């Protein structure tokens, strides 16, 4: 039996003649760029430095737009925040929203490229 045949590898597929990956798994080559968390926090720090301690609704809307959150996205956030509050997790809302923004900023600048928009 040929060791490279589908029968020999079972449910696995041969990739590039040297790696075997199970079907439906992560790709055999991982993305070499990691999210830029430092850059994401730097962008939020810059935003807060400019805005000061009292954020306006317009300023927050612009911050959301900077990461690609549009009116439809804000409606989703509004509904999910209401569900968190109704579920007794109101105290966590600020942390959750900060995590979303940091994640979006980090993903946007991964590998030095702007990925969103």
**67 in any annotated domain:** yes
**What is the per-residue pLDDT across 50-93, written as a single tens digit (0 to 9) for each?**
998 888 989 988 888 988 899 999 999 999 999 999 999 999 99
What's residue 116's pLDDT?
44
Mean pLDDT over 100-109 rounds to 86
> Are residue 58 and residue 102 in the same domain, yes or no?
yes
Residue 12: is its pLDDT beyond 60?
no
CA 104/CA 39 separation, integer angstroms: 11
Same domain, 19 and 69: no
pLDDT digit string (tens) for 18-49?
Answer: 555 555 665 555 455 677 889 989 989 999 99
The C-alpha atoms of residue 14 and residue 9 are separated, in whole angstroms, by 8
User: Looking at residue 9, what is its pLDDT?
Assistant: 47
Residue 117 domain-assigned (yes or no): no
Residues 60 and 86 in one domain: yes
Query: Which of 32, 38, 57 is closest to 111 using CA atoms?
Result: 32
In a domain, 17, yes or no: yes
Residues 25 and 44 in one domain: no
Containing structural domain, residue 47: 37-112
Would you give the DSSP letter of residue 92?
G
Verify that 48 and 79 share a domain, yes or no: yes
Q: Tell me: do 50 and 96 sit in the same domain.
A: yes
Same domain, 67 and 94: yes
57 shares a domain with 107: yes
């Amino acid at each position: 039996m040929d060791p490279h045949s589908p029968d020999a590898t079972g449910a696995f597929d041969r990739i590039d003649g040297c790696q075997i990956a199970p079907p439906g798994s992560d790709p055999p080559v991982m993305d070499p760029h990691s999210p830029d968390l430092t850059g994401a926090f730097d962008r939020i720090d810059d935003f807060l430095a400019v805005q000061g301690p009292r954020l306006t609704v317009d300023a927050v809307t612009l911050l959301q737009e900077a990461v690609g959150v549009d009116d439809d996205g804000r409606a989703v956030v509004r509904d999910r925040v209401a569900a968190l509050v109704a579920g007794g997790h109101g105290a966590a809302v600020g942390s959750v929203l900060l995590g979303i923004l940091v994640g979006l900023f980090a993903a946007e600048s991964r590998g030095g490229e702007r990925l969103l928009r």
